[in-house]
Structure 1
Amino acid sequence: MSADPERQLKGRPDFYRVELADMRIPELCEALDVWRSKCHEDGIPVWGELDFLDFDTRILPRMILLDVDNGPGFGVYRYWGTRVASFNGVDMTGLRINGLAPARHARYSEEQYRWVIEHARPSLFVACLGEKAWDRKYEAMLRMPCRSAPDAPLDRVLCVGFYDDVPQTIEEYVDAEIDLENYFDPDV
């Protein structure tokens, strides 16, 4: 589950992957319903048949669209919503995943995108950004695969994020055993 071997050895993952059945965040559930409504027989929608206008306006600022090219950093962000930018403190539109900071965030984000592409199905990922007690921000990110054309490989990932400064908020919306309170060592 973790991209960082040190954290894996300590038994603390960089993120949690949560089954969609355990997701209860209303905006993310609505986004997943829209994504599913546009899926082809293979269970994957084509970007263009699915687009930003299909989603409620309150979801748009929480959205990210990644163009997967399998180069260094795995892909380029085509769209980085305003809520995502304000939460992360940067607009990554036009930039690569490996440009995210801190480096741990870039590593686990790439790992999540790869998981979605390799498994050809959406999933929810929960993580903590910021490693100091005073700088902790929590995210629940729904990542959903797409194609750019019916005959294209999986080459897009559409994401919708839910963010909060309080871990209990996300824990209340995710019906799974995750421990965000003890995510990092207290001495870090």
Structure 2
Amino acid sequence: MMIFGDIRRKFKKHPRRALIIEGSSKRGIDHPTSLGVLELEIRYEVLEVTDIDLGEGRAVLDYWERVRGDAFAPAWSRQFRLTELPTRVVPGMTVIDRVDGGQTFYYRFWGTHHMAMKGFEMTGKTIDQAPNKDIQRIGTRQLETVIQRRRPTVFLYTIDYPRRHKPSEFILRLPLSDDGETVNRVASFQDLTSPTARWEILHDALLPDRPYGGGMAR
């Protein structure tokens, strides 16, 4: 059963927000309750960068803003370089190329925290090589959203789960443009070591068979 009360009240104050529900992303998760097996639904809000405390993501956004100058987005390598970011945030980064006008997406960089938490490697692979259709669909939709919006965008995840938890699991996605007109890459940041985020809940729902299954040591 999904409870939307708090989210609906939030939308009245922030009408520009959008709630995306991945309805087909239900997975049975064994849990010792009278309900037996719980079904989790993956959902996320599409937010502006000013709607949330970005934490470590603030350093990434500040760098993106600085190097883009007067352009709507910086160019990869010529302006936006991972080597110029604080070293503490680089393991949480990904860089994804838009291929064939968005027919698919190619992972140029997949930070080590993603491998440690999620248990799979995506560097040098296209999004259709991700472990399951849920991840492929969610990732594609978010990347298309950034391409359409042409500005930094936050995707704040929430899932149905039998306990109260203030959502702090989010992805910051930033457009990159080599020609100053078209978004042809997207740089993303996830703070997978955040002490307030419970990424393992989301990843257990999306990847119940992932080899590392317990997340990362902090």
The two structures have a TM-score, normalised by structure 1, of: 0.73
Cα distance change on mapping 1:54 and 1:72 into 2, 3 Å? closer
**What letter is aligned with 1:15?**
Y
In structure 1, C-alpha distance between the alignment counterparts of 2:24 and 2:176, rounded to whole Å: 33
Local SS of the residue matching 1:75: strand
Cα distance change on mapping 1:99 and 1:3 into 2, 3 Å? farther
After TM superposition, give the deviation of residue 29 of structure 1 in Å.
0.9
The two structures, once aligned, show a CA RMSD in angstroms of: 3.4
Task: Give ranges in structure 1 of 5+ residues lacking alignment.
Answer: 172-179
**What letter is aligned with 2:64?**
W
Contact 1:72 1:98 in 2 (8 A): no
After TM superposition, give the deviation of residue 41 of structure 1 in Å.
2.0
Structure 1, residues 105-156: CA drift from partner, whole Å, max 9, x if none? Answer: 2211111100001110111112369x998xxxx8411100001x23562101
Local SS of the residue matching 1:145: strand
Query: Equivalent residue for 1:37?
Result: 66
Q: Check if 1:101 corresponds to 2:131.
A: yes
Query: Equivalent residue for 1:112?
Result: 142
Q: Which has the larger radius of gyration?
A: 2
Work out the number of aligned pairs and report it: 164
Query: Equivalent residue for 1:174?
Result: none
Q: Check if 1:53 corresponds to 2:75.
A: no
Query: Equivalent residue for 2:96?
Result: 66
Cα distance change on mapping 1:71 and 1:43 into 2, 3 Å? closer
What is the 5 A alignment of 1:15-164? 15-48=44-77, 49-70=79-100, 74-127=104-157, 139-147=169-177, 149-151=178-180, 153-163=182-192
Structure 1, residues 45-65: CA drift from partner, whole Å, max 9, x if none? Answer: 111211012200001100000
Task: Give ranges in structure 2 of 5+ residues lacking alignment.
Answer: 1-18, 26-40, 163-167, 206-218
